């Protein structure tokens, strides 16, 4: 009996580290449209995006995707969960979150904080720095930098291994900002850059999307309607 229990605990721990969907369902809570917090169970769109990203990672060793999405599919929540899992599982890793405005960046960061605050205590890493712009896990030397897409540029002086660029169709000077941000994430195995947005006319994001569709970019286009 005790051996079965020990093996079961070992299998559980292994799946938490290696299986994102299992980790989400067993460790993360989200705020639904109504009612109390509930376990994060991926919907169909989130599962499709997860499979596409995992396939690209298996083929190339890294993640570079651009997601054109409809509203209310939970894409930002999925990306937040994916990069949170990666950040707390990888010592020395830095993740940057960039939204199109301050309130949007704060909302994305609040999702991450909610994940962290309600994690099982035995899995939750300790925090060394916590403020409106940073969340650093001191014993892991991993953490987050939060920024806003402004005309001055976002995250230019940072070095990171993961980037969540949100609602990029609404960013000012998108080509300049993306060029600067791409320099913060090295072109190395294990790095991840996920760009996502709803549509906003024929703008710079549309051009970025068309280049990825034409194979003129390292980003894989993913449409979630």
Extents of the domains making up the chain: 43-224
The pLDDT confidence band at residue 50, using thresholds 50, 70 and 90, is very high
Fold of 43-224: Rossmann fold (3.40.50)
Residue 1 has pLDDT above 50, yes or no: no
The pLDDT confidence band at residue 114, using thresholds 50, 70 and 90, is very high
Length of the chain: 225
Stated pTM of the model:
0.90
Asked whether 81 and 87 are in contact (CB, 8 A), the reply is: no
Sign of CA dihedral 196, 197, 198, 203: negative
The per-residue pLDDT for range 170-189, each reduced to its tens digit, is 998 888 888 888 889 999 99
pLDDT value at residue 2: 37
């Amino acid at each position: 009996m005790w051996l079965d229990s020990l093996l079961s605990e070992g299998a559980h721990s292994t799946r938490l580290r290696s299986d994102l969907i299992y980790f989400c369902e067993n460790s993360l809570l989200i705020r639904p449209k109504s009612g109390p917090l509930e376990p994060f169970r991926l919907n169909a769109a989130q599962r499709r995006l997860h499979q596409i990203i995992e396939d690209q990672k298996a083929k190339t060793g890294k993640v570079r995707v651009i997601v054109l999405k409809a509203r209310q599919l939970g894409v930002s929540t999925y990306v937040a969960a994916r990069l949170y899992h990666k950040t707390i599982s990888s010592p020395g890793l830095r993740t940057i979150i960039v939204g199109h405005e301050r309130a949007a960046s704060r909302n994305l960061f609040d999702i991450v904080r909610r994940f962290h605050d309600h994690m099982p205590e035995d899995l939750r890493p300790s925090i060394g720095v916590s403020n409106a712009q940073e969340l650093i896990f001191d014993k892991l030397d991993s953490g987050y930098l939060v920024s806003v897409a402004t005309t001055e540029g976002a995250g230019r002086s940072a070095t990171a291994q993961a980037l969540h660029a949100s609602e990029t169709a609404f960013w000012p000077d998108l080509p300049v900002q993306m060029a600067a941000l791409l320099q913060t994430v090295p072109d190395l195995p294990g790095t991840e850059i996920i760009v996502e947005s709803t549509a906003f006319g024929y703008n710079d994001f549309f051009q970025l999307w068309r280049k990825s569709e034409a194979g003129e970019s390292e980003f894989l286009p993913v449409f979630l309607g």
